[in-house]
Structure 1
Amino acid sequence: MQEILQHTTLPEWFGVFFSVFQVLLARKNNSNNYLFGIAGVSLTLYVMITSKLYAEFTLNLYYLVMSIYGWLYWKFGKRKTETVISETTNHEKLITAGIVIGAFSLFWFFLTQFTDSDVPIWDSLVSAFAWAGMWLMARRKIENWILLNVSNIIAIPLLIHKDLYLYAGLTAFLFIVAISGYFEWRKIIKKRADAYA
């Protein structure tokens, strides 16, 4: 335990702290989750670049942009009213698959050709599924929780390998919250459907 504390920097502590609040607010369908996300992501950017997790760093830049986009989309949507939770359409599923395949290919190529990454496949997989999941979350699609959990399950051993124990713990926590979030959002969808039945 003392070794974990010695390896944990202040940016990592605060990045995790803000990220915990972000995911708990997202689970509760609170659009202010993105404000905590922006703070957590900003700190995480520093941690990932110093750990040579370049795809994770790029992923967090994407999180920053998507957090701003997501907050605006959740608040105002296309009609200047708050967007409701919904299921992914077939068209959106194709876009999601394209994001996963495209992001993985780009990250893997970049990491193997231009960096000193020792984990290019795993880093690329984590980021590819997270990119797609975050896109779905920003659009308030329930399937975001599934893709984010695929990313989480791959990320936990990767973060441990990099001695980022606090982020590994956070990711395990995120995995549990994502399961809970999926069922919470499913209840919201059912309640809305029952109200219109």
Structure 2
Amino acid sequence: MDEFWSQLSTISPIDWFAMLTGIAGVYLSIKEKTLAWLLFILCYIAYVYISFRESYFAFGGMNVIFVAVASYGWYQWTKSTQDNTADEVRISHLPANRRWLVATFICIGTIGIGWTLAQTGEARLPYYDAFATSCALVAQWMLSRKHIENWIFWILSDLVYLVFFFNDRIWPSVILFAVFTLLAVKGWLTWKPKLTTSIIQPDSQK
């Protein structure tokens, strides 16, 4: 325990910053607060640095993409708040005709990104990294559209990275991803009663 607290006290401020903004962002997204996206952007920028520092290159690249996806999510949620139109983003299930696309994306992403990382000779656990990255990319897009299944894919991704950071004894990130996992479960339970029963027009699923 003494070693744990000793290591915790030497952690870089950027790790703590990523942890706090990440937790706050997930909590606010569960509450459907638009401010969540600003905190996500700050968290992802911090994790670009952290992931490349620790040689998790897919994770780093994922967070670069996440900055753009979070900006899209911010725009979509802000638009829904301002305009009560047919394009309003509401909690819903992932459309059935997109489930195979999601599965295909994850498979191709895991194999393609994993193989590419493996060729560098520097990446650690490249296929696990690629799988978690692919799941998280899908989850982030689903969150921007308020598809409830986003929480399932966050849990899958978070558990993989939780193991990664635990093995490296990066304690703020261990705490962060443990909390992320619990918050994803809470997100599912909180959103489930809010599922819309109305028909979503095709244009609103773009």
Q: State the TM-score, normalized to the length of structure 1.
A: 0.90
1:11-39: per-residue Cα shift (whole Å, max 9, x none)?
11111111111000011111221011011
Q: Is the 8 A contact 1:99 1:131 kept in 2?
A: no
Q: Distance in 1 between the 2:74 and 2:101 partners?
A: 21
Could you tell me which of 109, 116, 132 is aligned with 2:115? 109
Match of 1:74 among 53, 74, 77: 77
Secondary structure in 2 aligned to 1:109? helix
Where does 1:1-197 land on structure 2 (aligned, <5 Å)?
1-76=4-79, 82-189=88-195, 192-193=196-197
- Identify unmatched segments of 5+ residues in structure 1: none
Structure 2 SS opposite 1:85: coil
Shift of 1:115: 4.4
Q: Aligned Cα RMSD in Å?
A: 2.0
Q: In the comparison of the two structures, how many residue pairs are matched?
A: 192
Query: How many angstroms does 1:80 deviate by?
Result: 8.1
Residue 6 (structure 1) shift: 4.7
Matched residue type, 1:64: V
**How far did 1:53 drift?**
0.7
- Percent same amino acid at aligned positions? 19
Distance change in 2, residues 1:4/1:172 (3 Å) = same
> Is the Cα contact below 8 Å between 1:74 and 1:140 reproduced in 2?
no
Partners of 1:82 and 1:30 in 2: CA distance: 14
What SS does structure 2 have at the residue aligned with 1:142?
Answer: coil
Runs of at least 5 residues in structure 2 that lack an aligned partner in the other structure = 199-206
2:142–2:149 Cα contact (<8 Å) kept? yes
